[in-house]
Amino acid sequence: MIDDMLDYLRDIRSRPVWQNIPTQIQRYFDSPLPIKGKSLNEVYSEFFDNVLPYPMGNIHPRFWGWALGPGTVTGALADFLGSSMNSNLGGGYHGAVLVEHQVINWIKELMGFQKSASGLLTSGCSAANLIGLIVARNVKTHFDIRKNGLQKISAPLVVYASQEIHSSIKKAVEILGLGSNQLHLIPVNNRFQVDIDILQNRIIKDRKDGYEPFCVVGGAGTINTGSFDDLDALNKVCKKENLWFHIDGAFGVWASLVPSLKKNIFGLDKADSLALDLHKWMYMPYEIGCVLIRNKESHLQTFSMMPDYLSHSKKDGGLIGGNLEWFSDFGFQLSRGFRALKAWMSIKEIGMERYGRLIQQNINQAKYLAALIVDSSNLELMTPVFLNIVCFRYFRLGISPINLDEINKKIVVALQEKGIAVLSWTIIEGKYVMRAANFNYRSKKQDFNLLIKKIVQIGDVIASKFTS
């Protein structure tokens, strides 16, 4: 298995980025529940023939869709080692817990949080955002919400974020039981940042209208364009209005590893809570994210629970003793895998200087792609390139806006189905655009040259049907 996978990754460039799953393979997965077992060789052979040839594609050099990292061999091997140990990271006094504590402390150091802050590794930024907002709600609610629940709320609680914020914030607000109507999305300026004046005025108006504002969410690398909200200005609003300041830093916070970009995330260290991913721009295999909470006591008061069968203290000996806090007291999971090991090994092997160079490489490649777009008479750059995300579209004079939207949709699908490249899509100022998000250390300039060539070729063929 290891030999095959190393060969597979070595030769990944020779394969299509993505390919459709044939009908016979889909039928294979309709087979009934196995009653009698097979040899591992047989089972592995079935994986090799029926699963491995049809990946999502994000390990390929020409995958630039959504915000997906490519993973690494070291991370994959670390997952194998961690799964072999099969430790439960809910708590206890054992080596895996030490590893996670160290990884969290490293992240705190990188993000400017004091060592006294708390943190937790999560499945990703969706879970990290949820935990951050749960703590925010519990701290800013003026009664014991753990005992009394939402029934005691006298006024609707409100969260604020820009129109560009990730959908995981809306989902978190819904899970919290507040209702998506209580997520008030604020318009953005011409740099796709939340408009601070409109935000301030909306908070004042909402209080007059009987709402109870409690949290503002800032974006550090928004999903559509990679733009950064003015985090320092948001922090000042939160301090003035006594609101919790949460930052969704998913991938953008890692721009802090590039010296010239640190100014973009000024104010990051002022957050009450911060959510981020390591499986995007830190290139680690899925799944691993992190949440940091500035006030550890607030974090503990939100989640800590110690029934008799889980009782532990520093004074106890054995597996439940030691001086390590239990991670089950900082989140909603008691059963937690050893996902920290891939972060620990990757950071040690690669080092933060090299991570910074790889991130800068991705940004440089995005700017190179943007230059190719500007130089093409049939392509149009739709937003500034703030970081590693490029939004653009195929364009031809004489074709209606509706038909241009349809052409661009068809180009994205054609690129995928032909196995050339994977882009995603979004809506910018009412127009359907192609979106290339470069989190890929395997990409080379030749890949972007090929992308532009194929987009124009495919676009011209499709556009001819609308002009003939």
Pairing of strands 157-162, 212-219: parallel
For 302, the token pair is 């939100």
Looking at the DSSP bridge assignments, the partners of residue 194 are 188
Looking at the DSSP bridge assignments, the partners of residue 212 are 157
For 419, the token pair is 């196995």
d(CA 341, CA 101): 11
Could you check whether the bond before residue 42 is cis, i.e. omega within 30 degrees of 0? no
Q: DSSP assignment of 313-342, as one string?
A: -TT--GGG-SSPPPGGGGSS-SS---THHH
Q: What is the pLDDT along the chain (468 residues), one digit of tens a residue?
A: 999 999 999 999 999 999 999 999 999 999 999 999 999 999 999 999 999 999 999 999 999 999 999 999 999 999 999 999 999 999 999 999 999 999 999 999 999 999 999 999 999 999 999 999 999 999 999 889 999 999 889 899 999 999 999 999 999 999 999 999 999 999 999 999 999 999 999 999 999 999 999 999 999 999 999 999 999 999 999 999 999 999 999 999 999 999 888 876 888 889 999 999 999 999 999 999 999 999 999 999 999 999 988 888 878 889 988 888 999 999 999 999 999 999 999 999 999 999 999 999 999 999 999 999 999 999 999 999 999 999 999 999 999 999 999 999 999 999 999 999 999 999 999 999 999 999 999 999 999 999 999 999 999 999 999 875
The pair phi, psi for residue 426, each rounded to 5°, is -160, 180
The pair phi, psi for residue 31, each rounded to 5°, is -65, 150
Looking at the DSSP bridge assignments, the partners of residue 169 are none
Distances (CA, A) of 257 to 263, 358, 360: 11, 10, 9
Residue in the block written with tokens 């439960």: 88
Instruction: State the pTM of this model.
Output: 0.96
Give the H or E element holding residue 445.
Answer: helix 445-467
d(CA 86, CA 249): 30
d(CA 130, CA 124): 10
Complete domains list, the chain, with CATH = 1-18+55-71+352-468 (3.90.1150.170), 87-337 (3.40.640.10)
d(CA 416, CA 399): 24
Given a contact cutoff of 8 angstroms between Cβ atoms, the answer to whether 5 and 285 are in contact is: no
